[in-house]
Amino acid sequence: MGQKLPWEVEFCCMLRCGPEPPMPCEPVEGVTNFTVRVIFKAKVICGGGRTGRLVKPGPAMDSTAKNEMQPALIPEQLARLGQYRSREVQRTCSLEARMKSVVQSYLEGVKTGVWQLAQALEAVQEAHEALDQAHGLLQGMAELLQTLEPLREQVAQHKQLQALSQLLPRLQAVPAAVAHTQTLIDAQQLLEAYVSLRELEQLQEETWTSLGGLELPIFKGLGPLAEALGQAVEAAVGAAGQLAREDPALLVAAVRVAEVETGRTTSLEQAPRDWRQRCLHALQEGLERVHFGTPLLPGPGTLAGWLEALQVALPAEMATAEALIAPCCPPHYKIVQLWAHTLHSGLRRCLQQFLRGPELGAAEAFTLLHWALRVYPGPEMMGSLELGPEADVSQLEPLLTLENIEQLEATFVSKVRANVVQWLQKALDGEVAEWGREKEPDTDPSGFYHSPMPAIVLQILEENVRLTSLVSESLQQRVHDMALSELGAFLRSFSDALIRFSRDHLRGEAVAPYYVPYLLAALNHQSALSSSVSVLQPDGVASGALAPVEAALEDLQRRICRLVLEALLAELQPLFAALPSRQWLLSPELLDNVCKRTAHFCRDFGRVRNSTVQLLLAEAERTVVLQYLCALMQGRLVCRDAEERNQAAERLLHDAAQLRDLFLDLGLEESFQCTPVLLALRKLLNLRDPTMLGLEVAGLRQQFPDVSEDHISALLDLRGDVSREQRLAALSSLQAAPQPSPPAGRRALFSLVPAPTPAPSSCLPSGPCA
């Protein structure tokens, strides 16, 4: 065992005392010889938990080491030393026996493994020798195959020649068959042409297969021939509308050829011919070409006629598709749906192209909006009950986009606005031209001043608003807003024209013989506009939309009334210059002249419509009273004694009654008159005890809260008998009293009367003075 070996294998084993078998050994690596040296390392677990290592003593172990290994013995243990030694000897013998058994078993296993390795090595060597022999044989066969390659080529050529000899009669007939097929195509015998083409292509496929993929030049004409047949099928399907009425058999033949060819496959390396898609595309192109071709698109001014023609042609086309074309095509073509969507898309594209052109006029924009939003989806066209669900019109896009509608509405409103401005200006110019005539304004059968201008203005605006209701609410709202805006601008222009007319007349630059009658006629125009402006308010529009126009009409009414009253003032101011005076105290002649002049001025008020005449009379009466008050406040007269004060009081009473009767005769109700102020002043003048002036002034202040200290001072000056202390006491009572609120319905009077400096004054009429 001490002999040196070429290689060693070391096993590590764990041994346990007792009957258990030893632990498995580690794998054996690198076994190349039959001689094995085994070195065991074992751990022996002895009884009592003591461990020991099997050590083979060597010659180098000295006595000192041996003494160190032996434990020291005490006297009590010497008696049992023999027993201990016997037990150790038994244990050692048992251990050596077990170790020999283990080593023997492992040696047998190693021997078996080495034998198996040797057998495997021999098998590998034999296989290697067999592979070397096979490699040599293969090299020899490759050289032999190279010598057979010419023979193989000759065999292939022989087969091709044999196939050609068999196909030669059929191949010789190919040019004639191609010419015959072309003749059939030209004669529109599509089914026969397709059968002939199929036979030629089958022959081509057989030849190609027989010749191993070799393509003969004789078949070069089949590609153009097939394309010619495809074009013929496409042309026939493109004229489906006409063929369905005139020659439905040709249409059916074309569709059948396309369907058969679409499902066919060949062994040739060719792309499949999808003639079904070509047919569907041809159907769409033919339909669009018939109705939306370039020569058929509308030009300037022809849009309305083009849309009217489409309104008749498109429903007829849909009826033809459903009744004639659909039976000639397979169901999966969905002819009715295809027709509806193709017509819609073609029309939509044409309209988009049309809108990208020059800007449309108002009439064309309105026509297109009305046709696209009302007529086209209506019951006469795409909304017809005759169109079944197969048309699927619910999936169609809007004919006009929101941007298109916005563009057309903006164009229409801008064009209509320009036309409305022009028409209204012409109406205004015609009215202004009549103001300088040397005859009275025209009257209606009722005797009121009348002009067609208000009716023309409202008719122009109302027709545009009403017309747009046929299109859409958004367009109607836009035109409604435009109409109100332009009406407001017209009213301002009318008011400015009246001001220029009045200025030129009063300055003498262009004297109008019938100045006041034409102002009264303008007041009737305003009244007519006010009573009829509601026609511009369509249903569903908020009532407040007319508020700006109504305010402009009220401003116009006040402006006309101001001009009329200024003319009245121009006639009355010279008469009031002599009032009050001594002559006024003694004679009613001055006021008689005022009443006559006023009655003469107001004689034409009866030609103003009833809705305005009361306002005009009330303002005229108020103007006369204001001029009367202005004359009293100027300090032209101071009563010298009680008799003159009594005369002045009586004159006020008489003048108030005369003015009241005058305007009652003219038609003004007494409740709207302002003459009661003269009676209140009469009380102040008729007061006999000056010390009671404070109470009378307070009462006057209660009736007329706008009376001022200057007015009271002027009235006290007219009395002529008020001392300084009495004046101060009366004015102090006026200051001490709280400012009363004006009575309901009563307008200011004294605030419009300057005191004490005389100055012409005019009031702006807006209500009664009761």
Over residues 357-380, the pLDDT tens digits come to: 888 899 999 999 999 999 999 888
Q: How far apart are CA 526 and CA 50, in angstroms?
A: 136
What pLDDT shows up at residue 152? Answer: 74
Whole-prediction pTM: 0.67
**Tens of pLDDT, residues 504-557:** 988 888 888 899 999 999 999 999 998 888 888 776 666 677 888 999 999 999
Query: What is d(CA 720, CA 638) in angstroms, rounded to the nearest whole number?
Result: 5
| Whole-number Å distance between alpha carbons of 345 and 368 | 16
Q: Distance between alpha carbon 78 and the CA centroid of its chain, in Å?
A: 119
**DSSP H or E segment with residue 44:** strand 44-45
Find tokens 């909006």 and name the residue. Answer: 369
Calpha distance 604→616 (Å, rounded): 11
Q: Which two tokens stand for residue 6?
A: 């070429």
Average pLDDT rounded to a whole number, residues 213-229: 85
pLDDT score for 535: 85
Rg (CA), the chain: 64
Helix, strand, coil tally for the chain in percent (to 5) = 70, 0, 30
**426-470 residue pLDDT tens:** 999 999 999 988 899 999 898 899 899 999 999 999 999 999 988
User: Residue 621 pLDDT more than 90?
Assistant: yes
Q: Phi and psi of 158, rounded to 5°?
A: -65, -40
Cβ-contact 652, 580 below 8 angstroms: no
Asked if 415 and 478 touch (Cβ cutoff 8 Å), the reply is: no
Q: For residue 73, name the pLDDT band (cuts at 50, 70, 90).
A: low
Residue with tokens 């003159």: 644
The two beta strands, 51-52 and 44-45, are: antiparallel
Q: What is the dihedral of CA 733, 737, 741, 747, to 10 degrees?
A: 10
650, burial (CB in 10 Å: exposed 0-12, middle 13-18, buried 19+): middle
Task: Measure the CA angle with vertex 323, ends 322 and 326; round to 5°.
Answer: 55
Closest CA to 401 of 365, 361, 355: 355
Which spans in 263-370 are helix H?
Answer: 275-292, 303-320, 335-355, 362-370
176 has a pLDDT exceeding 60: yes
Give the single-character DSSP code of 17. S
pLDDT per residue over 129-160, tens digit each? 999 888 888 887 877 777 777 777 777 677 76
Pick from 419, 457, 672: nearest CA to 552: 457
Residue 471, pLDDT above cutoff 80 = yes
Give me the pLDDT at residue 43, please.
37
Please give the pLDDT value at position 744.
Answer: 61
Rounded to whole angstroms, how far apart are CA atoms 443 and 251?
76
Place 742 in a pLDDT band, splitting at 50, 70 and 90: low
> Which one, of 27, 55, 51, lies nearest residue 41 by Cα?
55
pLDDT computed for residue 16 by the predictor = 36
The helix (run of H) or strand (run of E) holding residue 45 is strand 44-45
Q: Would you state the structure tokens that stand for residue 105, as one six-digit string? A: 């078993």
Residue 504 is which amino acid?
A: D
- Element containing residue 51 per DSSP (H, E): strand 51-52
d(CA 353, CA 404) in angstroms, rounded, equals: 11
